[in-house]
Structure 1
Amino acid sequence: MKNRRNFIKNTALATAAITTAPSFGFHLMKKPVLEEEIIGHGDYQYKINRNWAQIGTSRPLLNCHEMEMDSKGRLIMIGDHPENNILIFDKSGSLLDYWGTSYPGGHGLTISDEGGEDFLYLTDSGWYMDKSGKWIPHNGRVSKTTTDGKVLFDIGHPQTIGIYKPGDPFRPTEVAIGPNGDIYVADGYGMDFIIQYSSTGEYIRHWGGKDNTDTNYNLSNAHGVAIDYRDKDNPMVVCTSRNEQSFKFFSLDGRFIKTLHLPNMQVCRPVFDDTNLYAGVCWSQPKIGKTDWRDHTGFVTILDGDKVISNPGGTEPSYINGVLQKSYQLEHKPILHGHDVCVDEDKNLYICQWNANRTPPIKLQRV
């Protein structure tokens, strides 16, 4: 397989087209983006397909936030256009279905197989963009739905059960489902708590937030949450602490285990596949100068265990004396903002991008 990948990679590079793909950034690219461009490192290299999603102009997009593959092999995506929340693709990129206008701040999507049937857990982050381009706050929302959008139940504002004070914002960004069906909600744009509920929505506990005596429990922009099953005997809750450029690992009942620091990578949710952890990097900083959240500075990172082994769209990972050094976006910005990664059975990646000039997901075909 490795030799086959190397053959494909070398052939693609040798026959790369001279023509350039459209520039999707706000800034003038310093180098052309080749149509057959290969990004990534080691055995984790990919050919970019920017035209994978075949939606034409019929379905409006703002930001493509998250995507997962269901048991039928369909790729289900959530976005935040007020007229267009859910898009469903096949792996060729054809649009199979779309629905939903009830999640104008559509942000998180998790698929859970429960008794052989797929269900969606959707989060609305409590922010949406109006027609003038202004961000408007509203009430965040967490819903369990069928794959065709029937709402089974909502989880209410934490103030209703006494764990938030009046005026505390609830702006959830992500949900993870535990091995017994417990629901873990990341309030990543609100109070930075991870709130654990039973499978039917009854409150169990919460942790995280800020100002903890033990700073290991602090979360700063708790943007994502997922369950790490790589050690089947010891599954863990993995939480993004994006402003700390870290993932924090906890037991299923919220006991701190470890922090994994990723210098210069403001990562989104962790995505697990085999021994790998994948994550979109929404922001980074250049080697010289500074940028802000509006600038295109993202890429994708891939880990084997706890070690970074490839940065598609970024510089090659480097360790000195066992310590990961800073990674940077490639100068010509092949990926603008990595917001989520979906992995198929052939180990191809589908990248949802935030703030990418209303472009649909792109495919990274593994070579």
Structure 2
Amino acid sequence: MKTLFCSLAIVGLALTTHAVSAQDAETVAPVRMGCGMMTFDTVPGWGLRPDGNSAIGPTHGGVVVDSAGHIYTSAKQGVYVFTPEGQVVKSYLGKDYSNMHDIEIRTEDGIEYIYGARNEAAEAVKFKAHGGEIVLKMPFPEASGLKPKAYRPTAITVAENGDIYVADGYASNLIFRFDKTGKYLSHFGEKGNDLKQFNTCHGMTLDTRYDKPRLLICDRNHQPKGRLVHYDLDGNFIEEVVTGLGMPTSVAIQGDYVSVPDLHGRLVILDKSNTIMAVLGHNTNPDTRRNFNVPQKDWIEGTFSGTHGSYWDKEGNLYVQDWNVSGRLMKLVRVK
């Protein structure tokens, strides 16, 4: 792993160990974390209802931001849409939208679409970000000739030509490639801990930091420690990018930078050379990190418990989702 050269967290004037209502938020100090150009302040109470409770229910999903700055997060019940100020303005709920483990957003012919990997529903989907119309469903590709015992997609991303990649991270550890119509094209990978094997290919995105975009994949449980790896778009191994990241769950790119949530309760930011620039929200308590069952009353401002999804907005702010029984989504404001 490249050298870590900044402090893990700079704490603000006070911490809170209880739910922050809209009325209380003004009395709770933000927590500052990171360093240098990757310094952020939390926004106490962001995304909560006026009564101080979570607006979204249990979370085990991802986050994306559309062109208008609205924040989409997937939860057990469905997908919720927030304003930058933290109010829910829309939701897509029900059996077609529930339990999206990972989501990505893409503009095609002027229309914004969300792609989702639904591990419990054994499918990937594509729907319109504005309106929610489902336009494509991708169950297990029978054309692959494989006969898996299960199909539990955990990640999805889309290449510039429209090809769709779906990681079956909770089952076969294969990555399936479809064309833009959902037609099966190929697959690659196998389960294991060797250099070119996956042990829970949990998260994935198109890494646009390079002249030829490639797949950046979170190999969450690879031994001895979790890692990121690069594959080309034909499924050929390129390199092991970085190791020792704990349990990396997902990746989000902005410019030369990538945010990497770690299920142990922290978020790592890497630069284009994949050197660690900052570590945010680091949780030192073994009882509350990598722990789904931390109730809202025990949340600590500026400390994560099971960091699972993240995304950047145009201003470089970060939205971070915890894997959490009460449903936790946080806004981190970039300090200029």
* TM-score for the superposition, normalised by structure 1: 0.75
Q: Which residue of 2 aligns with 1:246?
A: 227
Quick one: structure 1 residues 53 and 64, their matched pair in 2 at CA, closer, same or farther if it must change by over 3 Å? farther
Question: 1:29-80: CA deviations, max 9, x gaps?
Answer: xxxxx73321113321211124110435594501152110112221111111
Which one of the candidate residues 299, 311, 326 is aligned to 1:358?
326
Q: Residues 222-237 of structure 1: matches in 2 within 5 Å?
A: 222-231=201-210, 233-237=211-215
Q: Which runs of 5+ in 2 are unaligned?
A: 1-8, 20-27, 284-288, 291-299
Q: Which residue of 2 aligns with 1:48?
A: 42
User: Any idea what SS the aligned residue of 1:161 has?
Assistant: helix
Q: Which residue of 1 aligns with 2:293?
A: none
1:307 matched to 2:275? The reply is yes
Which one of the candidate residues 201, 220, 225 is aligned to 2:199?
220
Q: Residues 97-176 of structure 1: matches in 2 within 5 Å?
A: 97-102=90-95, 103-126=97-120, 139-147=121-129, 148-158=131-141, 160-165=142-147, 167-176=148-157
Separation in 2 of the partners of 1:121 and 1:312?
27
Separation in 1 of the partners of 2:145 and 2:113?
27
Q: Which amino acid aligns with 1:170?
A: Y
Separation in 2 of the partners of 1:251 and 1:41?
33
Separation in 2 of the partners of 1:162 and 1:341?
32
Separation in 2 of the partners of 1:342 and 1:42?
20
Separation in 1 of the partners of 2:56 and 2:17?
19
The Cα shift of 1:211 comes to 5.1
Which one of the candidate residues 252, 269, 280 is aligned to 2:250?
269
1:96 matched to 2:63? The reply is no
Separation in 2 of the partners of 1:63 and 1:140?
18
The Cα shift of 1:168 comes to 1.9
Q: Residues 24-103 of structure 1: matches in 2 within 5 Å?
A: 35-56=29-50, 59-80=55-76, 84-102=77-95, 103=97
Question: 1:239-260: CA deviations, max 9, x gaps?
Answer: 1100121111011111111112
Separation in 2 of the partners of 1:94 and 1:145?
22
Separation in 2 of the partners of 1:104 and 1:228?
27
Separation in 2 of the partners of 1:267 and 1:70?
24
Quick one: structure 1 residues 58 and 48, their matched pair in 2 at CA, closer, same or farther if it must change by over 3 Å? closer
- Greater C-alpha Rg: 1
Q: Percent identity, please.
A: 24
Q: Which amino acid aligns with 1:62?
A: P
Q: Which runs of 5+ in 1 are unaligned?
A: 1-8, 25-33, 127-138, 284-297, 316-327
Which one of the candidate residues 304, 319, 323 is aligned to 1:335?
304
The Cα shift of 1:157 comes to 1.5
Q: Which residue of 2 aligns with 1:131?
A: none
Q: Which amino acid aligns with 2:232?
A: S
Q: Which residue of 1 aligns with 2:17?
A: 22
Question: 1:252-302: CA deviations, max 9, x gaps?
Answer: 11111111233142111111101101111112xxxxxxxxxxxxxx11000
Q: Which residue of 1 aligns with 2:188?
A: 207
Quick one: structure 1 residues 45 and 60, their matched pair in 2 at CA, closer, same or farther if it must change by over 3 Å? closer
The Cα shift of 1:359 comes to 3.3
